[in-house]
Amino acid sequence: GQQLNQSPQSMFIQEGEDVSMNCTSSSIFNTWLWYKQDPGEGPVLLIALYKAGELTSNGRLTAQFGITRKDSFLNISASIPSDVGIYFCAGLPQGSARQLTFGSGTQLTVLP
């Protein structure tokens, strides 16, 4: 099946720092989504990207749909303690298999 490589697996940053994470694939994707999941909760949609090259912001979060349609990144600026959680990328691959494929997640820890 489709594979998404998400990196880094985990990050420890100081409060106030910026953070960046990304997802890459060997296949073309038509949609990229970024979710955040708190422990024991469901993933919450942060940003949705539908067009190659699209750059979208949601508060301190910015995500981009790569021009090649095989990658996406998420930036968080001026991190705060409540940014702690697991961030997942998800992509909808081109073709007839219209199923979201998820990355393995980035565990973010924000130190005070």
Partner 1 sequence: DSGVTQTPKHLITATGQRVTLRCSPRSGDLSVYWYQQSLDQGLQFLIQYYNGEERAKGNILERFSAQQFPDLHSELNLSSLELGDSALYFCASSVATISGTSGVSTDTQYFGPGTRLTVL
Q: Give contact residues for partner 1 (rule: CB under 8 A).
A: 31, 33, 35, 40-45, 48, 88, 90, 92, 96-105
Find the angle CA(68)-CA(89)-CA(33) to the nearest 5 degrees: 75
Q: Are 22 and 72 in contact (CB under 8 A)?
A: yes
Nearer to partner 1, 14 or 41 (CB): 41
Could you tell me the smallest distance in angstroms from the CB atom of residue 31 to partner 1? Answer: 8
Nearer to partner 1, 10 or 15 (CB): 10
Helical ranges in the chain per DSSP H: none
Find the angle CA(15)-CA(19)-CA(21) to the nearest 5 degrees: 145
Nearer to partner 1, 15 or 38 (CB): 38
Could you tell me the smallest distance in angstroms from the CB atom of residue 17 to partner 1? Answer: 26
